[in-house]
Chain A
Amino acid sequence: MKDFEYTTPQTLREAVKLLAEKGEDARVLAGGTDLIVQLRGRRFQPERVVDVKKIAELNELSFSARKGLRIGAAVPCHRIYKDAEVVERFPAIVDSAMIIGGIQIQGRATLGGNLCNASPSADTIPTLIAYGATAEVQGPDGKRKIPVEEFCTAPGRNALQPGEILVCLQIPQNKTNSGAHYLRFIPRNEMDIAVVGVGAYVELGGRGKNQTFKSARIALAAVGPTPIFARDAGDGLQGQPVSEESILAAGEAAKAVATPISDMRGPAEYRTHLVGVLTKRALIGAVKRARGQYVPNAVQENGHPVYTLS
């Protein structure tokens, strides 16, 4: 690994200055679980590394009715899935944060880093998109907000301009009768990269047999050059009854926007098929959570849930 200047700014202003001075020759270090591997592999050889873990705004993890959930860009996964408000109100964030690497990785890896790294298979990004999260960015010219679905622009590329830093992820307050779920398919139980991942969010209206989808958002991982917001698949559920039929139709709509490649993790046809299966299951999990039922994630003890509506 080539040597570099290591800096530890205490404020956002200082961090932005350190980044802006070097442009493409500076990299941000938060958890380091991607960056250090990339430095070692010489994918990046920056002159300056800006460690952002001492900046207060990037360590914030808070929930309020007005501001919703705010996850600072340097907050590691283990803090997120141990947080009582996150566990109760945003279980799909827990679904994602608990399956990234092993416990060692989760002790360091951040959602902010997962987003900035912009891998098509990132496990937290579909969940953030499904929840309608916004990325708050600080740059030399001030703050701006970017919807997470617009943040990734190509594999490993994001919307940040030189000198800009991701400050926090903001998720709107959870609505009543809403729920979300993230699922990925891997050929083993843990420590793997998604063959396909699907995050789904639903808000339900009405009761019993007349229950309908008020809104839904679906996002896909590992089936395109970036995480994909399957907007039409979610919008198509609006006003539809909560039924096997409407959910299967959403799965078909999600398959229609998937553009997977064939690689060592799976052929394109298989991945497209999985989009349909996982969309159905993620939607059913989200519906159950919206109804107040407990749905375990991929690594929680109570076994794999049976994905049927009743």
Chain B
Amino acid sequence: MSKIHVSCTINGDPQEFLCEARQSLLEVLREDLGFTGTKEGCNDGNCGACSVTLDGVLVDSCLVLAVEAEGKQIVTVEGIAGADGLHPLQSKFLEHASLQCGICTPGFLVASKALLDAKPNPTEHEVRHWLAGNLCRCTGYDKIVRAVLDAADQGS
């Protein structure tokens, strides 16, 4: 079938692309647009490695069709750091050694930023509940949770 034209913004910049209806947003982000920070883990909505925000709402990009991005604002992990360097969450992930293999990290960062945007001072329970949709098979989560709580304390 013919390709479909989609206009959206990614990390604040206008973007246009052509895609097939069957392509996921994850696939187009990684393979056509070069936003390879967004990772493919399970590709069925369990692991959260492909987390992005769509008009400010945290979603798994493997469960969004790329054509659904028409007119939407997308933020990926590449959009988290500011012009003056790492986002406090990123710094705290480094400081607390909140990653080992790193595949889950972009998803955790995008999800954690969405949490702190919605709730600047979450409790540990809220952090753990919010991040339940992100799987990490290396760290055991404690270091990730500590980094997010620490970043919240710094008022990120």
Contact = CB atoms under 8 A, between A and B. Distances in A.
A103 interface: yes
A11 to B, nearest CB: 18
Contacts of A191: 46, 132-133
Given A32-B63, A36-B65, A105-B133, A5 B45 contact: no
Contact of A103 (B43, B65, B68, B111): B111
A49 B129 contact: no
Interface in A16-41: 29, 32-33, 36-37, 39-40
Given A32-B64, A191-B132, A299-B129, A5 B59 contact: no
Contacts of A49: 21, 65
B100 to A, nearest CB: 21
A2 interface: yes
A307 interface: no
Interface residues of B, number: 35
A266 interface: no
Interface string B63-83: 111011000000000000000
Contacts of B125: 301
A51 interface: yes
A180 to B, nearest CB: 22
B45 A2 contact: no
Contacts of B40: none
A189 interface: yes
A294 interface: no
Contact of B129 (A29, A101, A190): A190
Given A37-B45, A299-B129, A301-B125, A108 B1 contact: no
A37 B58 contact: no
A108 B20 contact: no
A142 B63 CA distance: 32
B65 A32 contact: yes
Interface in A95-154: 101-105, 107-108
A104 B65 contact: no
Interface in B24-57: 24, 43-46, 48, 51, 54, 57
Interface string A270-310: 00000000000000000000000000000101000000000
13 contacts: A3-B22, A4-B21, A6-B65, A49-B21, A51-B65, A103-B111, A103-B133, A105-B133, A108-B59, A189-B132, A190-B129, A191-B132, A191-B133
6 closest Cβ contacts across the A-B interface?
A102-B133, A6-B21, A190-B132, A107-B57, A1-B22, A3-B22
Interface of B: 1, 4, 20-22, 24, 43-46, 48, 51, 54, 57-60, 62-65, 67-68, 111, 114-115, 123, 125-126, 129-134
Given A32-B68, A40-B44, A102-B131, 9 more contacts: A2-B22, A3-B21, A36-B65, A51-B65, A102-B133, A104-B51, A108-B59, A191-B133, A301-B125
